[in-house]
Structure 1
């Protein structure tokens, strides 16, 4: 894959990821409409349903219209969902649709985009492009709320205007991803599509079950920290824009500079170390009301811990099962990620409203500790014969 075609897919990915990053402002949006964080949890619960539907149908769409065009349509769905949040009142019946559209689009994108890269890269250079893809994706997720916070605070943009702009950027992303499918040569051999539900038993009987559950718990920490960031720092001197900016920069820098160090470590050691850093980043939020500097420390620790542990345990999910079951394992990995990313806020919003911020931070820390315990259990679990998987 040459630089010209890479430009389209990477910039398209950056702009698409900004659509997901815009969901971190839903808490502020619903409060401005007279609602509370329970409305945010409900919207993201609807997104959870959308992601599951997206994962179920993306394979069929990709076979009929191509994975690149499926990715472009997914970006368009995300943009329509973001615009929908700005256009409809939270109490109106159509308010259910935006959350579903964002979830459907993000679920389809996170499966179709890697498929389109797989079809256009060789075994030798696929790892390089996947790492670049993941880095750009995280830059969009964290960079969008950072720039949006600056626009709201410094340029006095209303939040609805931010949503409309982000929706427009997702439409541009759809055009760029469609162009990527046209200008990038398609390899003749297409990846074999498997029924991931039918192969579930084979996947869950191997050690791949550990990283699949781990990513769901890690995603709970990530989504809780980002979605309710403005509620967590309410009443303190901390700024949400600073957290988003530091997180995005840390993830990008860490993935560019520390990936080789992590790869050289034994994966079990690397996973436990990164998860411990993530837990420390979550625990640092307890101190923010007393010392705002810990707000920045938390962002950096979460950027290093979560930012690097995601690709590490994704590789474990693939390597811990037989080659014939790797695609179902990856699909389960993505589903588990979405359950944590969009499903956790539904629970976290109730905890935040009815019990308080310390309870929410404690719940996120418990999820991080749970993932760390599973990492230890995985290392102690003898590798099952993959031929029987």
Structure 2
């Protein structure tokens, strides 16, 4: 078989992407929690608490996903834990006031999403040849991002049709249930119960990874997750404060992130990764500046969302590759697992702090906090570029010193006579 030939049929992979899209709607519906909880007497801090509850359960899901894959197969593990996404969406819709019950449904969401997010790429890696992985990872990522962004857009459409906000959560639950059934069926077709296995993290491997250059992209994805989670989770509040339509944000962000990942990510990841990550994180920083100081109309709002989609979407692809390539030998899988965990800390953990900032200090303060996070993210890439340039400049000088001091033997003495 040719290396360029995928080992899975287009029909099967199409069903896989469709199932991924449907499950992703449940996570996308969490961006409506601020609006939903606000209508029931809560505030942004309450919404952030529910979202951040998912962080704890996501950790557990990621750590046990390898064992689940061995027991049930990757696809059927996703199907089983996808039922928790269905339950979470139904719970959000049916719970009438903020309390411990909503936190419980946040935990269910984290378990379901963590297993899916971890095992989905593992399935793809087992289905296609190494030379095809970048393309098929982009298709998976595009399917998931489409589902995440579609949930708020469906809610806006439901609102325009006079339907209650809860209808979006019910629709997400129904879509996720269909996705569960598709993944269960795919489990039989892929016969992956003994062929796919997730990495298991150890303290020794963690120390090795965090002591290597892979630490930098792992930190960066966490910071990027803070930006994405902070902006997306409270975008309904941001838009309401400026009399804008929040669907513009999700439409612009989703379109830009998907199109950039699927159309130009393959080109970008082949460039100098440090330079690319510096430029793209600069674009993301520019979008936060625009959100904080420059959004005064629908057009500027859409432009800021597009900039965020391009910067965030492509930066993620670049630093994902850096995390793998800069990991110590034999610890690539562990580095990617830590990469995912760092992302979850940012995307699920930061909304708790963001909600507290909004309630106690207002949206402008949150935007300044996000500006600081985006600046730190960009400064990491800038610092790495400057350090590399300094190393290149000092290397010839050190070689000259060694030669002039006689530490290197004359060239003629090293040759055979």
Report if TM-score (shorter chain) is over 0.5: yes
Counterpart Cα distance in 1 of 2:126 and 2:34:
38
1:278-318 Cα offsets, whole Å, 9 max, x none, are: 11111111245644432111111001000111111011000
1:209-235 Cα offsets, whole Å, 9 max, x none, are: 000010010111111111100111223
Task: Give the corresponding residue for 1:141.
Answer: 148
| 1:267 aligns with one of 254, 258, 273 | 273
Alignment of 1:116-155 (within 5 A): 116-152=123-159, 154-155=160-161
Structure 1 residue 75 corresponds to structure 2 residue 50: no
TM-aligned CA distance change 1:197 to 1:147, over 3 Å: farther
Task: Give the corresponding residue for 1:341.
Answer: 347
Task: Give the corresponding residue for 2:285.
Answer: 279
RMSD, aligned α-carbons: 1.8
Counterpart Cα distance in 2 of 1:182 and 1:101:
25
Bigger shift: 8-17 or 183-192? 183-192
Q: Give the C-alpha shift of residue 198 in structure 1.
A: 3.7
C-alpha contact 1:287 1:294 (8 A) present in aligned 2:
no
Task: Give the corresponding residue for 2:395.
Answer: none
Gapped regions of structure 1 (runs ≥ 5): 383-389
Q: Give the C-alpha shift of residue 179 in structure 1.
A: 1.6
Counterpart Cα distance in 2 of 1:328 and 1:17:
25
Q: Give the C-alpha shift of residue 35 in structure 1.
A: 0.7
C-alpha contact 1:150 1:241 (8 A) present in aligned 2:
no
Task: Give the corresponding residue for 1:385.
Answer: none
Alignment of 1:131-210 (within 5 A): 131-152=138-159, 154-184=160-190, 186=192, 190-191=196-197, 193-210=199-216
Task: Give the corresponding residue for 2:44.
Answer: 37
Q: Give the C-alpha shift of residue 133 in structure 1.
A: 0.6
Task: Give the corresponding residue for 1:97.
Answer: 104
Bigger shift: 238-247 or 178-187? 178-187
Task: Give the corresponding residue for 2:115.
Answer: 108
C-alpha contact 1:196 1:331 (8 A) present in aligned 2:
no
TM-aligned CA distance change 1:189 to 1:94, over 3 Å: closer
In the comparison of the two structures, how many residue pairs are matched?
381
Structure 1 residue 221 corresponds to structure 2 residue 205: no
State the TM-score, normalized to the length of structure 1: 0.93
Task: Give the corresponding residue for 2:28.
Answer: 21
The residue matched to 1:233 in structure 2 has which SS?
helix
C-alpha contact 1:139 1:251 (8 A) present in aligned 2:
no
C-alpha contact 1:217 1:367 (8 A) present in aligned 2:
yes
C-alpha contact 1:46 1:100 (8 A) present in aligned 2:
yes
C-alpha contact 1:120 1:186 (8 A) present in aligned 2:
no
Gapped regions of structure 2 (runs ≥ 5): 1-7, 389-417
TM-aligned CA distance change 1:242 to 1:188, over 3 Å: same
Bigger shift: 316-325 or 337-346? 316-325
The residue matched to 1:324 in structure 2 has which SS?
coil
C-alpha contact 1:223 1:345 (8 A) present in aligned 2:
yes
Counterpart Cα distance in 2 of 1:31 and 1:367:
27
Counterpart Cα distance in 1 of 2:333 and 2:251:
34
The residue matched to 1:207 in structure 2 has which SS?
coil
The residue matched to 1:234 in structure 2 has which SS?
helix
1:67-124 Cα offsets, whole Å, 9 max, x none, are: 1111222322112111111122334442221100111111111111112222222222
